[in-house]
Structure 1
Amino acid sequence: MTIETLPKALLHIASTQPERVALRRKEFGIWRDITWAEYLRKVKYTALGLHALGLSYGEHVSIIGENRPEWLYSALGAVCAGGAWVGIYTTNPAPECEYVVTHSDAVFYICEDEEQLDKALVFREKTPKLRRLIVWEMEGLKHFQDPMLMSFAQLLELGEATDKAQPELFQQLIEQVKPQDTAGIIYTSGTTGPPKGAMLSHENYLWVGQAARQVMYTTRDDETISFLPLNHVYEQIFDIMFHLTVGHTVNFTESTDTVMADMRDVSPTVFHAVPRIWEKYYSAIVLKMADATWIKRTLYNMAIKIGTQYNNKALAKQSIPVHLTLAYHLFYFVVFRKLKKRLGFDRIRFGGSGAAPISHEILKFFQSIGIPIREGYGMTETTGVTHMSDERNFKVGTVGRALPETEVRIAEDGEIVVRHKGIFKGYYKDPEKTAEVLNDGWLHTGDVGEIDDEGYLKLTDRKKDLIITAGGKNIAPQFLENLLKFSPYINDAVVIGDRRKYLTAIIVIDEENVTKYAQDQKVQFTTFATMTKAPEIVDLIQQEVDKVNRQVARVENIRKFRILDKKLYTEDGEVTPTMKVKRKSINEQYKDLIESMYAA
Structure 2
Amino acid sequence: MAADTTTSFEVVGSADEAADIRAAVAGLTVPTLLARQCRSRPDAVSIHWMRDGEWQAWTWRQYGAQVARMAGALERLGFGRGDRALLMTHPRPEFHVIDSAVLLLGGCPISIYNSSPAERVRYLAAHCRASLVVVEGRGLLARVLAVRAELPDLRHVVVIDPAPTGGGDTGGGTGSEAAGGENLGGGAAGDVPPGVLRWDDLLAADPVDLEARAATAGPDDPCTVIYTSGTTGVPKGVMLDHRAVIWQCESYLRRLDRDLTGARWVSYLPVAHIATRFYAQYFHVYAGLEDITCPNPADVESVLIDRPPHLFFAPPRLWEKYLISLREWIGAMDDPARATRLTRAMRVGEEAALLELTGGDVPPRLAREREELRPATRELRARLGLGDLLTGAIGAAPANPQLTAAWIGLGVPMFEGYGLSESTGMLTVDPFAYRLGSVGRPMPGVELRVAPDGELHFRAGSAFRSYLDDPERTAAAVDAEGWVRTGDLATIDDGYVRLRGRKKELIITAGGENVSPAAVEFALAAQLLVGQVCVLGDGQPALGALVVLDPQAAAVWAGVNGIPFTHVDELAADPRVLAEVGRQIARANDLLVRQEKVRRFHVLRHEWPLDSDELTPTAKLRRDQIAAKYQAEIAAMFAAPANVEVMPRAVAANHSS
User: Normalized against structure 2, the TM-score is what?
Assistant: 0.84
Does the 8 A contact of 2:255 with 2:443 survive in 1?
yes
Alignment of 1:145-544 (within 5 A): 145-158=192-205, 161=206, 163=207, 168=209, 170-217=210-257, 218-253=259-294, 255-285=296-326, 299=341, 302-315=344-357, 322-334=364-376, 336-391=377-432, 393-440=433-480, 441-453=482-494, 455-515=495-555, 523=563, 530-544=570-584
Is the partner of 2:613 in helix, strand or coil?
coil
- Distance in 2 of aligned mates of 1:283 and 1:439: 47
Equivalent position to 1:104, from 111, 123, 128:
128
Which residue of 1 is the match for residue 75 of structure 2? 51
Q: Does 1:123 align with 2:164?
A: no
- Distance in 2 of aligned mates of 1:108 and 1:500: 50
Which residue of 1 is the match for residue 19 of structure 2? none
Cα offsets for 1:279-311 (capped at 9, x unmatched) = 433455567768889867755664344324433
Does the 8 A contact of 2:350 with 2:407 survive in 1?
no
- Distance in 1 of aligned mates of 2:610 and 2:496: 33
Cα offsets for 1:121-166 (capped at 9, x unmatched) = 11111112111111111212955343321111111212xx2x3xxx
Shift of 1:490: 3.0
Q: Which moved more, 1:182-191 or 1:368-377?
A: 368-377
Which residue of 2 is the match for residue 556 of structure 1? 596
Does the 8 A contact of 1:184 with 1:200 survive in 2?
yes
- Distance in 2 of aligned mates of 1:305 and 1:549: 26
Shift of 1:92: 1.6
Is the partner of 2:389 in helix, strand or coil?
coil
Is the partner of 1:31 in helix, strand or coil?
strand
Shift of 1:407: 1.7
Shift of 1:410: 0.9
**CA separation of 1:46 and 1:126: change in aligned 2, threshold 3 A:** same
- Distance in 1 of aligned mates of 2:338 and 2:119: 52
Letter matched to residue 114 of structure 2: T
Segments of 5+ residues of structure 2 without an aligned counterpart are 1-24, 166-188, 641-657
Letter matched to residue 266 of structure 1: R
Which residue of 1 is the match for residue 655 of structure 2? none
Q: Does 1:11 align with 2:35?
A: yes
**CA separation of 1:563 and 1:291: change in aligned 2, threshold 3 A:** farther
Q: Which moved more, 1:110-119 or 1:559-568?
A: 559-568
Cα offsets for 1:387-426 (capped at 9, x unmatched) = 11142x3322222221222221111101011111111011
- Identify which of structures 1 and 2 has the higher relative contact order when contacts are C-alpha pairs closer than 8 Å and 6+ apart: 2
- Distance in 2 of aligned mates of 1:283 and 1:204: 39
Cα offsets for 1:253-291 (capped at 9, x unmatched) = 252111111111112121112334334334555677688
Shift of 1:320: 5.0
Q: Which moved more, 1:511-520 or 1:56-65?
A: 511-520
Is the partner of 1:157 in helix, strand or coil?
coil
Cα offsets for 1:521-572 (capped at 9, x unmatched) = 6656566654432334433433433442344445433222112222213453
Cα offsets for 1:328-368 (capped at 9, x unmatched) = 0122323x222212222111121112344433332222212
Cα offsets for 1:52-107 (capped at 9, x unmatched) = 11113111101101111111111111111111011111122222122211111111
Letter matched to residue 325 of structure 1: A
**CA separation of 1:465 and 1:72: change in aligned 2, threshold 3 A:** same
Does the 8 A contact of 1:131 with 1:148 survive in 2?
no
- Distance in 1 of aligned mates of 2:588 and 2:337: 30
Does the 8 A contact of 1:276 with 1:579 survive in 2?
no
- Distance in 2 of aligned mates of 1:194 and 1:248: 35
**CA separation of 1:265 and 1:446: change in aligned 2, threshold 3 A:** same
Residue identity (%): 29
- Distance in 1 of aligned mates of 2:294 and 2:99: 19
**Structural RMSD (CA):** 2.6
- Distance in 2 of aligned mates of 1:124 and 1:596: 45
**CA separation of 1:283 and 1:305: change in aligned 2, threshold 3 A:** closer
Does the 8 A contact of 2:440 with 2:496 survive in 1?
yes
**CA separation of 1:311 and 1:512: change in aligned 2, threshold 3 A:** closer
Does the 8 A contact of 1:449 with 1:461 survive in 2?
yes
- Distance in 2 of aligned mates of 1:375 and 1:71: 28
Cα offsets for 1:490-540 (capped at 9, x unmatched) = 321111123321121111123355356556766565666544323344334
**CA separation of 1:268 and 1:75: change in aligned 2, threshold 3 A:** same
Is the partner of 2:204 in helix, strand or coil?
helix
**CA separation of 1:110 and 1:558: change in aligned 2, threshold 3 A:** same
Is the partner of 2:309 in helix, strand or coil?
coil
Which residue of 2 is the match for residue 42 of structure 1? 66
Does the 8 A contact of 1:576 with 1:582 survive in 2?
yes
Letter matched to residue 113 of structure 1: G
Is the partner of 1:242 in helix, strand or coil?
helix
Is the partner of 2:214 in helix, strand or coil?
helix
Shift of 1:38: 0.9
**CA separation of 1:532 and 1:315: change in aligned 2, threshold 3 A:** closer
Which residue of 2 is the match for residue 575 of structure 1? 615
Which residue of 1 is the match for residue 88 of structure 2? 64
- Distance in 2 of aligned mates of 1:550 and 1:29: 51
Q: Does 1:77 align with 2:84?
A: no
Cα offsets for 1:449-483 (capped at 9, x unmatched) = 11223x22111111122334333444333233233
**CA separation of 1:254 and 1:187: change in aligned 2, threshold 3 A:** closer
Letter matched to residue 19 of structure 1: D
Does the 8 A contact of 2:244 with 2:461 survive in 1?
yes
